[in-house]
Amino acid sequence: MRCIFVFLALIAGPALGDLRNNDDGTVSEPEGSLVWTAMGNGEDINFPDARDHCAGLGLAARSDWRLPTLEEAKSLYRPDKEPRNSYEYRGKSYPLRIDDAFSLTAPGIWTSSASYRGVPTTFLFSSGRDFSWRGEHSNFSRVLCVRQR
């Protein structure tokens, strides 16, 4: 039984504790060091535009936003939580396993991490997996920006 618990904890990534909606379009962990945008950008976006979106974002009186690393994105994944977030595709709704504090309209977000082939990587909240796309690809990819507290 102990092995199963440890395995599930490793899949889920580091625990975030209670997330806090800061009422300014951001979400943070009370004792953590990261602040996230609460909403995705709302439309398909390619990697260069995603990177530029975060770099040019002025939200909550801050301009030091960036794309998250793959590990940071994974830390938001909630495999054991009943999903309230979902996205629509071809008339069907698919669950997203991300905390309810966030609003996304697609299964994945771009990260600043690259695959072993140097290809940009997205993290999919529908499956808990990362996937590498060519940078010009934009289907099903959104942006959640992050910054240090």
pTM for the predicted model, two decimal places: 0.82
- One-letter identity of residue 31: E
Length of the chain: 149
> In the numeric block, which tokens belong to residue 132?
């590498």
Q: Domain extents for the chain? A: 2-148
- Do 135 and 28 contact (CB within 8 A), yes or no? no
- Of 145, 135, 114, 148, nearest to 49 (Cα)? 135
Q: How far is CA 142 from the centre of its chain?
A: 8
> 30-57 in b/e burial notation, b at 16+ Cβ within 10 A?
eebebbbbbbbbeeebbbebbbebbeeb
> In the numeric block, which tokens belong to residue 13?
């990534």
CATH number of 2-148: 3.10.100
Instruction: Provide DSSP, 83-122.
Output: P-EEEEETTEEEEE-B-TT-B-SSSEEEEEEE-TTS-EEE
Summarize the chain as % helix, strand, coil (round to 5). Answer: 15, 30, 50
- pLDDT tens by residue, the chain, 149 residues: 444 333 333 344 444 457 889 999 999 987 779 999 999 999 999 999 999 999 999 999 999 999 999 999 999 999 887 777 888 888 988 899 998 899 998 999 999 998 878 889 999 999 999 888 665 677 778 999 999 98
